């Protein structure tokens, strides 16, 4: 019913609403009138019966007083003249029935009502009235009358018929009046609908409707006109936008096209003809796969089939097409799928000629590979040169130290000291070049491990104090109490930075002293920012050189290089390492007064643990550990063989030599050894292969045999490589005798 009402015309809706409202109003009015009339008739009936009862009571006062019921009965028979009275009773003062009247044809009830006080009541079909009768203010009797409601009901029916007649006539009048009045509303709305239909059909958005009034219909007309103005402007803007878009598409340098579900072109902009070489007519008969290069057709088809199945809206793919004249063109294509009812119905694509970009990328790739190859060649060259230099350097420095332990006169000692200093300087230069190469290649990675900062500072103090005293300088190390002693960081690289800065400070200071200070600059929970300062009273740095000294191969002046030597890499390496720590380094200096180098790094504080410190072992105890132990030295260089044998024999060890890895493995079959010192780069079988052969022996009797790599390969990753190969420790050439002895003690204890 609600659906039917929504579908009927506004004219009929207004008519129906008027009829319903008017009808309801009339019905409610008539119902109210009928109710009022019924109540009034009941009151009138009660009043008449009460008067009648009062008259009957007064007429029967004497018979009641004289107890003459016969006269009273005769008096009540006069009620037969009123057809509505069907029962009348007179009660004496004791409440007993004195006389009564029953209408002929009316069945007397089995139980007569008892006498009551003044009052009346309506039952389902009768009105009952009790009227007390008084004589000289004394109650004499009570009259009871019962009247049926036939007359009242007849009045009600008559009134109802009259009301229905009036209601019918009124509804007819309302219908014709409403029919006339609804046109005031429906006609403007119908006119509005007709205009809207005309605009929709003719697409003429300039049509307007004249406003007739200021009521709601007038407001609706005004709103419609304003809407049409906005639509007209929007349509004009849309047409203008479409024209601009068409101009952009037609003049675009990218191929823009549409294709149907099956991949056949339905539109292509003019540039498509230039890119593909085909005419517009030829292209509009082609499938997009017809343009794809044979080598790419299957891959491209699979790619866009996946887009169809997955209902992916937008995709990008790069591939080659074959033009009409046989050229191969690289295309980068964005495709947007139009999806309706979960089905792809059309493709819109923008295809760009990326041939030049691909060629440039390929050229860049070749150049990158060549650069990487050159970098690798440089790294390999530096590693090989380092190895080739470190091998004889090990012999030179080792033999020089051994020579220094022999009885020498003063002049000879000076010569040996000169050899040692020159060798150390050469080794520093080699290490700087290797570190610079690693940093430049981005291969330096900091290793975080717990260590005691005070141990590191003590080591630096002991080492550098010797150099400072040789020049008559003071050297002090200060560490603030707030500095955590146990930290998590890279000990080796931090030591390298500090040794570089302190070494430079001592090198460039002729008098006065050098100091190293550490304090806490900032703290965030367990994270500390440590500030390091290296202060000297040296020659200072010109203001114009304060920034450039951190560049590679730079020193303050050419005179500095000639006088003090060095590669100019130390500060550059230090700066790069500090930046790897996440910090920064800078310098303050005054020429002729001195310099202060400062850098900050962030470190984590860790709980101190005694296990993190190796108990000190004295020289005598170390000698006792090594004495009598049999060690196999696998080394192909005769000078290094001799050096190793001299050093190890000096410590009381029994030494056997093997010229290469194969001979070393064979030697283990012939005798029992406590440890093996293994060179890496050797003929026939290198150190890695020899270690693998030892660890994989079928009887597994050498699994626990300590093997230490002793090699001229000094790169940090070499240690990891040696450990992964099955070796237990690593030391680089030229080796430090004390370090070698300590490592052997740790392996043999």
Per-residue pLDDT band at 7 (split at 50, 70, 90): low
Does the pTM of the predicted model rise above 0.75?
A: no
User: Percentage of the chain with pLDDT > 70?
Assistant: 86
Given this model, what pLDDT does residue 616 score? 46
| 217 CB-side CA count, 13 A | 17
Given this model, what pLDDT does residue 745 score? 92
3-state secondary structure (DSSP) of residue 460: helix
Burial of 90 from C-beta contacts in 10 A (0-12 / 13-18 / 19+): buried
Per-residue pLDDT band at 384 (split at 50, 70, 90): low
The length of the chain, given as a count of residues? 749
Listed in sequence order, the residues at least 6 apart from 320 whose beta carbon sits closer than 8 Å to its beta carbon are 292, 293, 295, 296, 328, 329, 330, 331
Q: Is the pLDDT of residue 564 over 60?
A: no
Q: Are strands 630-634 and 654-658 parallel, antiparallel or unpaired?
A: parallel
Per-residue pLDDT tens over the stretch 257-267: 899 988 899 99
Given this model, what pLDDT does residue 673 score? 93
Burial of 366 from C-beta contacts in 10 A (0-12 / 13-18 / 19+): exposed
Per-residue pLDDT tens over the stretch 130-187: 888 887 778 888 888 888 887 788 888 888 888 888 888 887 887 777 767 666 666 7
As a whole number of angstroms, the distance between CA 283 and CA 301 comes to: 18
Given this model, what pLDDT does residue 443 score? 64
Domain 619-748 top-level CATH class: alpha beta
Q: Measuring CA to CA, which residue among 258, 268, 267, 286 is closest to residue 346?
A: 258
In the predicted model, what is the mean pLDDT of residues 285-301?
90
In the predicted model, what is the mean pLDDT of residues 561-586?
74
Mean pLDDT across the chain, nearest whole number?
82
What region, left, alpha or beta, does residue 310 occupy, with left being phi > 0 and alpha being psi -120 to 50 degrees? alpha
CB 607 within 8 A of CB 486: yes
Assigned architecture for domain 360-439: Orthogonal Bundle (1.10)
Given this model, what pLDDT does residue 556 score? 45
Given this model, what pLDDT does residue 602 score? 93
Per-residue pLDDT band at 565 (split at 50, 70, 90): very low
Given this model, what pLDDT does residue 557 score? 46
Structure token pair of residue 126: 């009768």
As a whole number of angstroms, the distance between CA 6 and CA 12 comes to: 11
Q: Is the pLDDT of residue 546 over 80?
A: no
Given this model, what pLDDT does residue 534 score? 96
In the predicted model, what is the mean pLDDT of residues 185-209?
76
Superfamily of domain 252-353: PAS domain (3.30.450.20)
| Segment (H or E) for 726 | none
As a whole number of angstroms, the distance between CA 94 and CA 117 comes to: 13
Q: Is the pLDDT of residue 676 over 80?
A: yes
Highest mean pLDDT among 167-181, 278-292, 435-449: 278-292
In the predicted model, what is the mean pLDDT of residues 321-326?
91
User: Percentage of the chain with pLDDT > 90?
Assistant: 23
As a whole number of angstroms, the distance between CA 641 and CA 395 comes to: 9
Alpha helices in 534-597 (DSSP H): 558-564, 570-580
Given this model, what pLDDT does residue 432 score? 63
CATH 3.40.50.40 fits 444-612, yes or no: no
Per-residue pLDDT band at 91 (split at 50, 70, 90): confident
In the predicted model, what is the mean pLDDT of residues 653-675?
93
| 670 CB-side CA count, 13 A | 10
Given this model, what pLDDT does residue 610 score? 42
Q: Is the pLDDT of residue 6 over 50?
A: yes
CATH T-level assignment (fold) for domain 7-175: Beta-Lactamase (3.30.450)
pLDDT: is 113 or 745 the higher one? 745
Q: What is the 3-state secondary structure (H, E, C) of 478-502?
A: EECCCCCCEEEECHHHHHHHHHHHH
Per-residue pLDDT tens over the stretch 461-500: 887 888 899 889 999 999 999 999 999 998 888 988 998 8
Per-residue pLDDT tens over the stretch 580-628: 899 999 999 888 899 999 999 999 998 765 434 444 455 788 888 899 9
Given this model, what pLDDT does residue 635 score? 92
Given this model, what pLDDT does residue 438 score? 66
Tokens 């090198």 locate to: 507
| Segment (H or E) for 404 | helix 355-404
As a whole number of angstroms, the distance between CA 394 and CA 396 comes to: 6
pLDDT: is 402 or 475 the higher one? 475
Given this model, what pLDDT does residue 391 score? 67
């Amino acid at each position: 019913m609600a659906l039917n009402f929504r579908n009927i015309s506004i004219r009929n809706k207004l008519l129906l609403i008027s009829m319903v409202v008017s009808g309801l109003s009339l019905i409610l009015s008539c119902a109210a009138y009928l109710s009022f009339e019924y109540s009034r008739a009941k009151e009138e009936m009660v009043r008449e019966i009460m008067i009648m009862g009062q008259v009957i009571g007064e007429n029967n006062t004497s018979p009641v007083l004289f107890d003459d019921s016969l006269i009273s009965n005769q008096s009540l028979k006069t009620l037969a003249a009123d057809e509505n009275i069907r029962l009348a009773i007179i009660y004496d003062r004791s409440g007993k029935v004195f006389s009564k009247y029953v209408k002929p044809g009316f069945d007397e009830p089995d139980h007569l009502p008892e006498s009551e006080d003044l009052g009346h009541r309506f039952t389902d079909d009768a009105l009952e009235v009790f009227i007390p009768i008084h004589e000289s203010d004394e109650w004499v009797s009570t009259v009871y009358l019962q009247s049926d409601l036939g007359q009242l009901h007849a009045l009600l029916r008559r009134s109802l018929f009259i009301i229905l007649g009036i209601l019918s006539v009124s509804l007819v009048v309302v219908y014709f009046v409403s029919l006339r009045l609804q046109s005031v509303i429906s006609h403007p709305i119908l006119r509005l609908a007709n205009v809207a239909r005309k605009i929709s059909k003719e697409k003429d958005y300039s049509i307007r409707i004249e406003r007739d009034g200021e009521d709601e219909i007038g407001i609706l007309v005004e709103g419609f006109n304003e809407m049409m103005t906005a639509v007209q402007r929007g349509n004009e803007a849309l047409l203008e936008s479409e024209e601009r878009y068409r101009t952009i598409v037609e003049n675009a340098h990218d191929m823009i096209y549409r294709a149907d579900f099956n991949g056949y072109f339905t539109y292509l902009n003019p540039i498509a003809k230039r890119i593909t070489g085909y005419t517009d007519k030829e292209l509009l008969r082609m499938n997009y796969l017809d343009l794809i290069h044979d080598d790419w057709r299957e891959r491209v088809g699979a790619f866009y089939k996946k887009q169809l199945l997955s209902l992916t809206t937008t995709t990008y793919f790069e591939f080659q097409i074959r033009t009409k004249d046989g050229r191969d063109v690289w295309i980068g294509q964005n495709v947007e799928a139009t999806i309706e009812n979960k089905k792809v119905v059309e493709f819109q694509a923008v295809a760009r000629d990326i041939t030049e970009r691909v060629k440039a990328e390929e050229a860049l790739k070749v150049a990158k590979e060549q650069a990487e190859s050159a970098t690798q060649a440089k790294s390999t060259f530096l590693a090989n040169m380092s190895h080739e230099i470190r091998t004889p350097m090990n012999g030179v420095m080792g033999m020089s130290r051994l020579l220094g332990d022999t009885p020498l006169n003063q002049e000879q000692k000076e010569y040996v000291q000169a050899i040692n200093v020159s060798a150390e300087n050469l080794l520093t230069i080699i290490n700087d070049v290797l570190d610079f190469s690693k940093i430049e290649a981005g291969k330096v990675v900091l290793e975080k491990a717990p260590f005691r900062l005070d141990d590191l500072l003590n080591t630096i103090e002991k080492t550098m104090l010797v150099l400072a005293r040789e020049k008559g300088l003071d050297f002090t190390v200060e560490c603030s109490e707030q500095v955590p002693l146990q930290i998590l960081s890279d000990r080796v690289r931090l030591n390298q930075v500090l040794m570089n800065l302190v070494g430079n400070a001592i090198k460039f200071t002729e008098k006065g002293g050098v100091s190293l200070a550490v304090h806490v600059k900032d703290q965030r929970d367990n994270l500390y920012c440590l500030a390091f300062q290296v202060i000297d009273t040296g020659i200072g740095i010109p203001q114009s050189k304060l920034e450039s000294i951190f560049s590679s191969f730079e020193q303050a002046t050419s005179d500095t290089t000639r006088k003090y030597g060095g590669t100019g890499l130390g500060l550059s390496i230090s700066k790069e390492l500090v930046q790897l720590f996440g910090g920064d380094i800078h310098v303050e200096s005054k020429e002729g007064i001195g310099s202060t180098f400062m850098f900050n790094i962030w470190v984590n504080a860790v709980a101190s643990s005694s296990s993190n410190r190796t108990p000190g072992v004295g020289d005598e105890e170390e000698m006792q550990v090594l004495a009598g132990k049999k060690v196999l030295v696998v080394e192909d260089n005769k000078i290094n063989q001799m050096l190793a044998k001299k050093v190890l024999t000096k410590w009381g060890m029994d030494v056997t030599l093997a010229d290469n890895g194969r001979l070393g493995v064979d030697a283990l079959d012939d005798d029992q050894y406590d440890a093996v010192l293994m060179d890496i780069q050797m003929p026939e079988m290198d150190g890695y292969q020899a270690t693998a052969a030892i660890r994989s022996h079928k009887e597994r009797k050498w699994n626990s045999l300590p093997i230490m790599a002793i090699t001229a390969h000094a790169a940090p990753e070499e240690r990891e490589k040696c450990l992964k190969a099955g070796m237990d420790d690593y030391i680089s050439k030229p080796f430090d005798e004390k370090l070698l002895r300590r490592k052997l003690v740790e392996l043999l204890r």
